[in-house]
Amino acid sequence: MILPDFSSRLIAWQKQYGRHHFPWQTDDAYCVWLSEIMLQQTQTVTVAEYYPRFWAAFPTVRDLAAAEQEQVLALWAGLGYYSRARNLHKAARQIVAEFGGTFPQRRTELEKLCGVGRSTAAAIVAFAFRQRETILDGNVKRVLCRVFARDGNPADKHFERQLWLLAESLLPENGDDMPAYTQGLMDLGATVCTRSKPVCEMCPMNDVCQARKEGRIGELPRKKTPLAIKQQTVFWLLLQRDDGAVWLQKRPQKGIWAGLYCLPESDSAKGLAEYAGNFAVQAADWEELPAIWHRLTHRLLEIIPFYVRVPCSERLPEKVTGQWVLPAKLPETGMPKPLQSLLENGLRVTHNICG
């Protein structure tokens, strides 16, 4: 099916019914890039909360490049998928080192940045530089599969290439229309052509949508085969000094919550008890706190935390790595969301001061 007025329909609809209130809706490439990375696998309402704080701390790509990774992770804490934050920081340094602090205006150049794929690069050049490049995220794939009744395995690379070709064929001729067109694709998939309960009567394509005509709205696009979710149990030790400080360790640069600060962790209570021996505390002194369940992409974590007080005077062996962090410093320390929640509910109020 050929639909020559797809872009004009979409642009007109977006201007009248689309979303226009987000702080990142600008032609500043840095702002667009920042928002696009944040919006990956994260709901818009959540990004709308994090974006202003992040941008206030790092208003330019040079500011972000000059920051320490810990500062970046601290402001990202709670958004999840922390590799995005690490790649964002690396890419900022790439832009400064390789492009003189100026965003390249070609999609292929942007794709060289850490964490930037074809769709993200296309969004940047479309919004910031009005380049005729198409995005193809999950929302856009859903719109195309329904409007044009494209049926295929979402994991099949050949089918995905077909969708890229289709998306490219629909681009408006005028580059100045690219911001409205690109935002329209995002808005249509996010607010009208939703995965469940689409609002077809509000869609600018409802009279030409092939899936609607064929009664296949619920069938297209085909769902990906869900991956098996593995359950894993880990044990945390929440050590708190008399002055309220908490013992935290920086996690490795690879793996879950890489680069963030966390509590001492073990996959067994015995391993945790052995570690606790460095602080001269016995398992009998521990208080078991309510278990925490945390869902990762392909894993369900059961976190069993234990709480124990440690005297200020306790000296630690040199082999023990970590640091004491006072309560006032915890909000600016990058840590995973479940630890944030635990500390908000699990810390004991104290008035003692360690000398």
Give the catalytic positions in this structure.
36
Candidates 309, 312, 284, 301; CA nearest to 337 is: 301
CA angle 341, 39, 334 (to 5 degrees): 35
Q: What are phi and psi of 199, to 5 degrees?
A: -95, 75
Question: How many whole angstroms separate alpha carbon 248 and alpha carbon 335?
Answer: 9
